[in-house]
Amino acid sequence: MAEIRYREALNQALREEMARDDRVFVMGEDVAFFGGSFKVTEGLLAEFTERRVIDTPISEAAIVGCGIGAALAGLRPVVELMTVNFALLAMDQIVNHAAKIRYMFGGKAKVPLVIRCPGGGGHQLGAQHSQSLEAYFLHCPGLRVAVPATPADAKGLLKSAIRDEGPVMFIEHEGLYGLKGEVPDGSDYLVPFGQAAVTRTGKDVSLIGYSRGAMLAAQAAEELAQKGVDAEVIDLRTLNPLDMDTIIGSVKKTSRAVVVYEAWKTGGAGAEISARIAESAFDHLDAPVARVAGGDVPAPYNKHLEAASLPQVEDIISAVDQIVGV
Residue 97 falls in the annotated catalytic set: no
Residue tagged active-site, from 17, 60, 134, 232: 60
Residue 123 falls in the annotated catalytic set: no
Query: Phi/psi of residue 171, each to 5°?
Result: -105, 120
Residue tagged active-site, from 8, 17, 80, 129: 129
Contact 210, 199 (CB under 8 A): no
- Give the active site residues: 60, 129
